[in-house]
Structure 1
Amino acid sequence: MDAAPFRTKLPYYYPFAFGDGQVTVLSDGPLELGDPSTNFLGVSAETVGDMLHQNFLPKDNVTLEQNVPLVEINGRTILFDTGMGTSKAFGPTTGRLLESFREAGRDPSEVDVIVLSHAHIDHTGGICDGNGNLNFPNALIFISESDLVDWTDGSKLGSGFEFQVANARRNLLPHKDRIFFFQDGQEFIPGVQALHAPGHTLGHHCFLIQSGSDRLCFMGDLTHHHVLLMERPWMEFKYDTDPKLSAKSRTRVLDMLAHDRIQVMSYHFAWPGAGHIARAGDGFRYHPSAMQMLI
């Protein structure tokens, strides 16, 4: 038996039809946060533990997925976020995005556009390899201007973000000639509209994607957990730049997605991260979509 560590049981990709095109979810591997009570704040540790227990989840450790959608619409091949890359700051199981590409029979050179929800390491770390070479050599890069400035400058950030700034500088600054910006509400790629949802970072965006009659919202880091930040959307998250602004954005966007019944794609929800949002009391509930196993 192969004793290689972290060997997956199945290939870590999932394609599904979307309008006139296709979405292929590629995994960058699970990301371990550790003790839930130190990461999800604003309520008691007992409350956090009870919420996890009631949903049949471990009370001592939160593991997030990293679901990277490869979207093929209108003649473009668009990658939303890029995973951790070579960094193991959040555990040894991250950084498998290129392996997932290979498992899916896809080549990183196919990617025309990289769209970044924000500049944190688990979203920008895979732009370059360990030597600074582009993993997606033919891709233009889109990011909000404020996130590029904030996370490559670092002067407006508090302590503890130094490794995030170093990552943003390494992956973004050498390639400024291929970086472009979008504005809130702008359809900056045919079928892709930016939706400003600040708080996690001040330039954080979600993206409304449409092909034919199908609509999908890639939420980025609007909400990190399908239970904790959904049932209690005003709970705070440790890594938010402005936790209260993040909660305002979260409730505003989730309410819109629930009202308009728009399918969502979540970066950090349980694999493969596609589903719908519904109102539930003072919060929301995530309903995973049935997987499409026949093409």
Structure 2
Amino acid sequence: MVCVSRRSALGALAASPVAAALLPHLTPTAAQAQQTAQPSPNVQQAPGFYRVRVGDLIVTRINDGQFARPNPTEGFVRNASPDDVAAALRDAFLPTEALTIPITFMAVQGGGRTVLIDTGTGGQLMPTAAFGARNMAAAGIDPARVTMVVISHFHPDHISGLAGADGKPLFPNAEILVPEAEWAFWMDDAAMSRAPEAMQGTFKTARARFGAYPQERIRRYDANAEVAPGIQAIAAAGHTPGHTAFAVSSGGKQLMVLSDTSNHPALFVRNPGWHAVFDMDPALAEANRRKLFDRAAADRMPVVGYHFPFPGVGHISQRDRGFEFEPAPWSAEI
């Protein structure tokens, strides 16, 4: 038996009449090697959507991107020392100079309905959070076929996606549902006049985004109402006056939508007593956070979080003096 090395085979091929035609296809050129080593500067992540099933309902998590909180050890947590916040970040293998905070809204589909819960930024707040429309399209969700948009609260990263930069509605055939207490606060001229400058942008954003829709298409819901078949509101005020979580239910299965009950889980799930700078009534926000975490842990109820690392699906477990977010394993099956 004769053994022929790869080098010998290539040498023999080079001596043959077809070498000139074949060798460029068998051996990468320097330019090809450079292309392999140097990916295009325009390379992007794959479309960011992820589906889970809740009974007969399909929940699609839609990533809108992220924003960075600079110096998260300074001022991000009102009632914790910089050293404690830094230790929590390091414990979660997160940087202390800037914290990446994801933004993920969602669609619930079933029974011929497509219901969005919140809308993301609409690409109007920052370039790193401008991918919701692209990812909705990749998931096959047509904005014109969205039947309902349910809003958890009126912060700009949740409602800016209601309308485009031109002021036109992005969900032209949808009914818009808003918490009664949110509408009463953010649409009140007296409250706007008393609000600090840092909050003025939310007042203006709310009026512009909801102003894109006919008033008869905007419906206000009570704190614990069933907003759509299989979607139950859960009063969770504190973050804002009418902040709302939701329970999605079907076929004996449930999913808790935490909305902004917690910001990044490495800080506010592990430390439910910590108060985020965004919480308007920190004590009430903490009380509702603990109540919802207790319920999710006791019932072993899956949860999703708006600012949890994508896709933000998992469980809440009790841990020492706080809780832990346990991400669900990524599954190719729905």
Q: What's the TM-score, normalizing by structure 1? A: 0.94
Conservation of the 8 A alpha-carbon contact between 2:65 and 2:131: yes
Q: Select the residue among 98, 121, 125 that pairs with 1:61.
A: 98
Runs of 4+ aligned residues of structure 1 deviating over 6 Å after TM superposition are: none
Question: Residues of 1 paired with 2:194 and 2:171: CA distance?
Answer: 30
Conservation of the 8 A alpha-carbon contact between 1:152 and 1:173: no
1:26 matched to 2:26? The reply is no
Letter of the 1:232 counterpart? N
Question: Residues of 2 paired with 1:133 and 1:280: CA distance?
Answer: 46
1:270 matched to 2:270? The reply is no
Question: Residues of 1 paired with 2:318 and 2:193: CA distance?
Answer: 39
Q: Deviations over 1:139-163 (max 9, x none)?
A: 1111112212322332453331111
- Aligned position for 2:141: 106
1:43 matched to 2:80? The reply is yes
Question: Residues of 2 paired with 1:148 and 1:272: CA distance?
Answer: 29
Q: Select the residue among 222, 236, 242 that pairs with 1:197.
A: 236
- Aligned position for 1:224: 263
**Structure number having the greater helix percentage:** 2
Question: Residues of 2 paired with 1:112 and 1:288: CA distance?
Answer: 30
1:21 offset after TM fit, Å? Answer: 2.3
- Aligned position for 1:172: 210
1:279 offset after TM fit, Å? Answer: 1.1
Q: Percent identity?
A: 32
Letter of the 1:131 counterpart? D
SS at match of 1:251: helix
Aligned length: 291
Conservation of the 8 A alpha-carbon contact between 1:264 and 1:277: yes
SS at match of 1:233: coil
Q: CA RMSD in A?
A: 1.5
1:117 matched to 2:116? The reply is no
1:87 offset after TM fit, Å? Answer: 2.4
Question: Residues of 1 paired with 2:52 and 2:280: CA distance?
Answer: 34
Structure 1, unmatched stretches of 5+, are none
Q: Deviations over 1:11-56 (max 9, x none)?
A: 1111222211211111111122222122122010010001110111
Letter of the 1:255 counterpart? D
- Where does 1:210-289 land on structure 2 (aligned, <5 Å)? 210-289=249-328
SS at match of 1:41: coil
1:184 matched to 2:220? The reply is no
Question: Residues of 1 paired with 2:194 and 2:246: CA distance?
Answer: 26
- Aligned position for 2:124: 87
1:256 offset after TM fit, Å? Answer: 1.1
- Aligned position for 2:49: 13
Conservation of the 8 A alpha-carbon contact between 2:179 and 2:223: no
Structure 2, unmatched stretches of 5+, are 1-38
Q: Select the residue among 162, 172, 176 that pairs with 2:200.
A: 162
Letter of the 1:143 counterpart? V
Conservation of the 8 A alpha-carbon contact between 1:150 and 1:156: no
1:185 offset after TM fit, Å? Answer: 2.4
Question: Residues of 2 paired with 1:261 and 1:15: CA distance?
Answer: 20
1:229 offset after TM fit, Å? Answer: 0.5
- Aligned position for 2:17: none
Letter of the 1:108 counterpart? P
SS at match of 1:163: helix
Conservation of the 8 A alpha-carbon contact between 1:95 and 1:126: no
Conservation of the 8 A alpha-carbon contact between 2:66 and 2:103: yes
Letter of the 1:3 counterpart? P
SS at match of 1:14: strand
Letter of the 1:14 counterpart? Y
1:246 offset after TM fit, Å? Answer: 0.8
SS at match of 1:10: coil
Question: Residues of 2 paired with 1:156 and 1:248: CA distance?
Answer: 26
Conservation of the 8 A alpha-carbon contact between 1:152 and 1:166: no
Q: Select the residue among 163, 167, 176 that pairs with 1:132.
A: 167
Letter of the 1:26 counterpart? I
SS at match of 1:66: strand
